[in-house]
Amino acid sequence: MPISSTTVSAVRGLRRSVVAALAAVLAAVVIVPTAAAPPSPAINRRQLAAQVKAEFLHAWRAYERDAWGHDELRPLTRKPYDWYGESLEMTPVDALDTLVLMGLKPEAQKARLEIDRRLSFDRDLFVKTFEINIRLLGGLLSGYELTHDARLLALATDLGRRLMPAFKSPTGLPYQFVNLRTGAVRGAGTNPAETGTLLLEFGTLSRLTGDPAYGQMARRALVATYSRRSAVGLVGAAIDVETGTWTSSDSHIGGGIDSYYEYLVKCQVLFGDDECGAMWRTTRPAIDRYLADDVDGRRWYGHADMETGARTAPTYSALAAFFPAALALSGDVATARRLQDSSFFMWQQHGIEPEVFDYRTATVKRPGYHLRPEIVESTYYLYRLTHDPAYLRMGETLFRDFVKYCRTDEAYASLASVVTKEKADEMPTYLFAETFKYFYLLFAPETTLDFDRVVFNTEAHPLFRTFP
């Protein structure tokens, strides 16, 4: 068929408009970003690290002034608080490695002397196995590894020995409470976080003392938790250590289960324990199949029934925000990035994150903010693993909001409500162990601590890897 002149001119016209359109696209590509979206201002890491340190010291001075030698400071009433009525030096032990990493030498020396002279575990007290393990045993071990103060290892060994009776249940799952002096136990009702978050500390204690019993007991407890997963591969929210039966079938990745998953990942990285790696690899598909929930393009992890896998509640939490770090460490950086964006979305709804969030309605379910570190921890991991400056910018936003809403004239305080920003009389020890530490490490020179040589326990105490 002959080509008419109309056709030729139409083709030419089309070519011209395609060329014009291409030129417009090119112009947009070349010109628009510089005009409409100027590059974000460079992050001044040195200045931010100095600011984090100054804010840490603001809270630390308050503790020194109003609660020195006690477990915690209540920041609004400015009164000391001891968890069990007498002090176990929780804040100095939990804070020691952060003081060392920040280069706060006189403060670190003072805390170390306080611990060396005053801390004794020969107490007729029923203590919570999980909390004492992650904060005190973890803090003493990392303190020892960073300072080589032999007294810290002696204290850690004494504490580990006193916690060991907790494992003497018919299942090997640890009792919730153990008496530090008598070894008596109580609290058969516990949860996977409490039964599965002991191996990094006890395994490290075995390595440092040469006594394998610590690691063996903690490992047995982790395996005992894993082996009780349901047919669909999930664990529940409550378990009885004497019968090994689940007393809550609520499955999720938040508080009460969270660090069980974290330790499955980390015990492979810290000790090269392939069985842990295998337990994680069989667990992950169940988490993704039943708990993962994509809403409007965002990735969340909600709740499901552990037996049926049926979805129960579309809620995510401040505690669940540890999961991007665990995912990234396990090698799944892509999902970690997506979930971190969701955690940040939750944070941005009120300029600070609530304890529990309904991701389907984007509403607050529990409004408190307990100075939690998890979202900062994940920001730090993602930055270290990707070197994407977006995570420095995210960290800067988190830090500025955190200071804006949680700083008081005297100290730092939790929020009773992220909606009203009303404060609560609480300054947990993990503020020093974790929240400030992760902010600091995010901005500080990477030589401050070699990310590849350590594994952080769930309380952010770095333990040195024994596996290349």
Q: How far is the CB of 135 from ligand DMJ (least distance, A)?
A: 7
Establish whether 355 is a catalytic residue.
yes
Q: 71, 114, 201, 355: which one is catalytic?
A: 355
Q: 131, 275, 332, 341: which one is catalytic?
A: 131
Give the list of residues 6+ apart from residue 259 with CB closer than 8 angstroms, or none: 134, 193, 196, 197, 322, 458
**What is the amino acid identity at position 134?**
I
**Cβ-based nearer residue to ligand DMJ, 163 or 230:** 163
Element (H, E) at 291: none
Q: How far is the CB of 109 from ligand DMJ (least distance, A)?
A: 25
Binding pattern to ligand DMJ, positions 281-320, x when CB under 6 A? --------------------------------------x-
Cα distance between residue 269 and residue 292, in whole Å: 24
- Which residue in the block uniquely carries the two structure tokens 């006690």? 70
Q: What is the torsional sign of CA 399, 424, 409, 90?
A: negative
> In the window 131-160, what residues touch ligand DMJ (CB under 6 A)?
134
Cα distance between residue 383 and residue 228, in whole Å: 35
Q: How far is the CB of 23 from ligand DMJ (least distance, A)?
A: 54
Whole-number Cα distances in Å, 24 to 11, 18, 36, 154, 440: 19, 10, 15, 71, 45
Q: 89, 107, 258, 377: which one is catalytic?
A: 258
Establish whether 426 is a catalytic residue.
no
Binding flag, residue 459, ligand DMJ (CB under 6 A): yes
Which stretch in 120-128, 242-250, 327-335, 369-377 sits in contact with ligand DMJ by CB under 6 A? 369-377
Task: Write down how long the chain is.
Answer: 468
**Cβ-based nearer residue to ligand DMJ, 96 or 230:** 96
Strands (E), 302-419: 304-305, 315-317, 356-358, 363-366
**Distance in angstroms between the alpha carbons of the first and the last residue of the chain:** 73
Which stretch in 138-146, 162-170, 245-253, 370-378 sits in contact with ligand DMJ by CB under 6 A? 370-378
Backbone angles phi, psi at 324, to 5 degrees: -55, -40
- The total of other beta-carbon atoms located within 10 Å of residue 56's CB is 24
Binding flag, residue 430, ligand DMJ (CB under 6 A): yes
Pick the binder of ligand DMJ from 204, 230, 259, 268 (CB under 6 A): 259
**Cβ-based nearer residue to ligand DMJ, 134 or 427:** 134
Q: How far is the CB of 97 from ligand DMJ (least distance, A)?
A: 14
**Cβ-based nearer residue to ligand DMJ, 259 or 378:** 259
Q: 114, 145, 201, 374: which one is catalytic?
A: 374
Establish whether 410 is a catalytic residue.
no
Ordered DSSP codes for 118-178? H-------EEEHHHIIIIIIHHHHHHHHHH--HHHHHHHHHHHHHHGGGG-STTSPPPSEE
Establish whether 250 is a catalytic residue.
no
Binding flag, residue 372, ligand DMJ (CB under 6 A): yes
Which stretch in 33-41, 273-281, 299-307, 368-376 sits in contact with ligand DMJ by CB under 6 A? 368-376
Q: How far is the CB of 444 from ligand DMJ (least distance, A)?
A: 20
Q: How far is the CB of 165 from ligand DMJ (least distance, A)?
A: 23
User: Which residue pairs, CB below 8 angstroms and at least 24 apart, start in 72-76?
Assistant: 72/427, 72/428, 72/429, 73/411, 73/427, 74/425, 74/426, 74/427, 75/408, 75/410, 75/411, 75/412, 75/413, 75/425, 75/426, 75/427, 76/408, 76/413, 76/423, 76/424, 76/425
**Cβ-based nearer residue to ligand DMJ, 286 or 318:** 318
3-state helix, strand, coil in the chain (%, to 5): 55, 10, 35
Q: How far is the CB of 375 from ligand DMJ (least distance, A)?
A: 10
- When CB distances to ligand DMJ are compared, the closest residue is 458
**Cβ-based nearer residue to ligand DMJ, 70 or 230:** 70
Q: How far is the CB of 268 from ligand DMJ (least distance, A)?
A: 18
Cα distance between residue 203 and residue 370, in whole Å: 30
**Cβ-based nearer residue to ligand DMJ, 82 or 116:** 82
Pick the binder of ligand DMJ from 217, 222, 458, 463 (CB under 6 A): 458
Q: Which residue, among 463, 461, 465, has the nearest Cα to 99 in the 3D structure?
A: 461
**Cβ-based nearer residue to ligand DMJ, 253 or 291:** 253
- Which residue in the block uniquely carries the two structure tokens 């002096």? 181
Q: By three-state DSSP, how is residue 345 classified?
A: helix
| Residues with catalytic function | 131, 258, 355, 374
Q: Which residues bind ligand DMJ (CB under 6 A)?
A: 134, 259, 319, 372-374, 430, 434, 458-459
